[in-house]
Amino acid sequence: MSQNKTCVVIGASHAGVNFAFALRKEGWEGDIILFDKDETTPYHRPPLSKKYLELEDSIHNNLLKPVESYKKNNITLALGKEVSRIDKAHKTITLSDGNSQNYDTLVLATGARAFVPPITGINAAKNIFTLRNANDVSGIREAFHASQDKKIVVIGGGYIGLETAASLKKLGAHVSVLEREERILARVTTPYLSAFFTNIHESNGVAICVNKGVTEITLEGEQNTVICADGTSYPADIIIVGVGIRVNTELASEIGLTINNGIEVDTSAKTSHSAIYAIGDCTFHYNKHYNRHVRLESVQNAVDQAKVAAANIVGKDTEYNALPWFWSDQYDIKLQIVGLSLGFDNSVIRKEGDKKFSIWYFKGDELLAVDSINNGKSYVLGTKFIKAGATIDKEKLKDPTSNLKEITKN
């Protein structure tokens, strides 16, 4: 059956690597070849802005799988190899070094790259970094140790920018976060949580500056100055750009696959071409629970979609039907999110302590999502309630002395 077949995977990160091991486990007997332009053995990305940065950890403590396990599972890891073209008529891919490889099944796990906004002077700036891969962190570390004053400006107050700010602060830097919107995390959460995180950062000595659209970066000697639309300016030895991502859809769009905010796939993770699947951050996929298409940037989605694609490729009909979850760690704060809050029209805050609470998002009476701060119980029960479609007694929920297990109606 699959003995003489070859499965080629483009991208060896959370999605690609989990897919390769899942495919082997599903009984695929043919070749599995993972290509990635990154030269490092595949590693966990979430720690890059958190513990890995803060503790100056080694990447070897953060590998997705140990090096030997690829060989043991007969998975070929082709690192430092960039795929430059797909020929779907001949079922081959071409690498930027000119070599090519044929496939029977192709899996796109190309993820996303950090977006670099077109700010005047950004290309000439010194010690400026995005944060998407291990190399970025190496650059940040080197610049950090070489810098005397350790004045760091983070452009963008999203999760990655804020986590990076927290980690660098703990390392002893002076950090300012410049956010274009009127609050940090504006795209992903509610004003209440934005205010909470602003407070946490400020009490840890990180300056959170909002309504700061960066228009220009100037360089004098070694010193950058970041200039905002309102005329304010911030000196910076190091600049971290964390303003979001661009999905790596180029290879897919060149061969005419349907692109729609990401590579469009069906519930089996198949693209608009039958021999080509796509998984992880690069996909625009249907979420059954919320009855709409979404693009997610999360380990959960990468891992779960990888398993679904592997099962379908060996002929086991499997539908992607996962409830999204996500986390972020900053200082002593653990944020855990389950579900997607987009479209909520009312919410309930359950406050169990200054740094322990949860926000429950509803559309009418339907529970859509829960944000938990240092509160595993809310996260876990929220997960169960959303999955069960439970109706919540909001008065009981609001009361922090009530037993969370007893807040459902009927």
Partner 1 sequence: MAKITFITKDNETITVEGDSGNVMQLAVNNSIEGIDGDCGGVCSCATCHVFVAEKDFEKVGEAGEIEADMLELEDNVSEFSRLCCQIQVSNAIDGIELTVAKED
For 139, 170, 238, 298, 317, the CA distances from 135, given in Å and listed in that order, are 6, 21, 16, 20, 39
> Position of tokens 């359950």?
350
Contact pattern from residue 147 through residue 176 relative to ligand FAD, giving x for each residue in contact according to CB under 6 A and a dash for the rest: -------------x----------------
**With contact defined as beta carbons under 8 Å apart, do 265 and 301 qualify?**
no
- Over the window 295 to 334, marking each residue x when it contacts partner 1 by CB under 8 A and - when it does not, the resulting string is ----xx--x-----------------------x-x----x
Cα–Cα separations (whole angstroms), residue 348 to 204, 284, 294, 364, 378: 28, 30, 25, 12, 12
Rounded to an integer, what is the distance from CA 356 to the centroid of its chain?
24
Complex with ligand FAD: residue 44 or 350, whichever CB lies closer: 44
* Number of residues forming the site for ligand FAD (CB under 6 A): 35
Residue number, 284 or 326, with CB nearest to partner 1: 326
Q: Are 349 and 356 within 8 A, CB to CB?
A: no
37 binds ligand FAD (CB under 6 A): yes
Q: Check binding of 223 to partner 1 (CB under 8 A).
A: no
Give which of 262, 293, 291 is closest to 279, Cα–Cα. 262
Binding status of residue 270 toward partner 1 by CB under 8 A: no
Nearest to 201 by CA among 237, 239, 161, 241: 161
Tokens of 157: 């107050």
Residue 376: name its binding partner from ligand FAD, partner 1, none (Cβ under 5 to 8 Å by kind).
partner 1
CA 29 to CA 3: how far, in whole Å?
A: 5
β-pairing verdict for 283-287 and 292-294: antiparallel
- How many whole angstroms separate alpha carbon 293 and alpha carbon 261? 10
Query: Which part of the chain contacts partner 1 (CB under 8 A), choosing from 4-12, 43-51, 98-106, 171-179?
Result: 43-51
Closer residue to ligand FAD in complex, CB, 299/367: 299
DSSP string, 61-121: GGBSS-HHHHHHTTEEEEET--EEEEETTTTEEEETTS-EEE-SEEEE---EEE-----BT
* Interacting residues of 203 by C-beta distance below 8 A, sequence separation 6+: none
Choose from ligand FAD, partner 1, none: what does 374 bind? Cβ within 5-8 Å by kind: partner 1
Which tokens in the block code for residue 58? 């080694």
Residue nearer to ligand FAD on the CB measure, 91 or 398: 91
Q: Which stretch binds ligand FAD (CB under 6 A): 68-76, 219-227, 228-236, 291-299?
A: 291-299
Q: Which of residues 219-258 bind ligand FAD (CB under 6 A)?
A: 248, 251
Q: Is 115 in the site for ligand FAD (CB under 6 A)?
A: no
Residue 8 or 206: the one with the smaller Cβ distance to ligand FAD is 8
Instruction: Establish if 374 lies at the interface with partner 1 (CB under 8 A).
Output: yes
**Out of 22, 140, 302, 323, which residue is the one contacting ligand FAD (CB under 6 A)?**
302
Place of tokens 């599995």: 32
Q: Distance between CA atoms of 55 and 52, rounded to whole angstroms?
A: 6
Binding site for partner 1 (CB under 8 A): 44, 46-47, 50-51, 61-63, 65-66, 68-69, 72, 299-300, 303, 327, 329, 334, 336, 374-377, 379-381, 383-384
Binding site for ligand FAD (CB under 6 A): 10-11, 13-16, 35-38, 45-46, 48-49, 82-83, 109-112, 131-132, 160, 248, 251, 280-281, 297-300, 302, 326-328
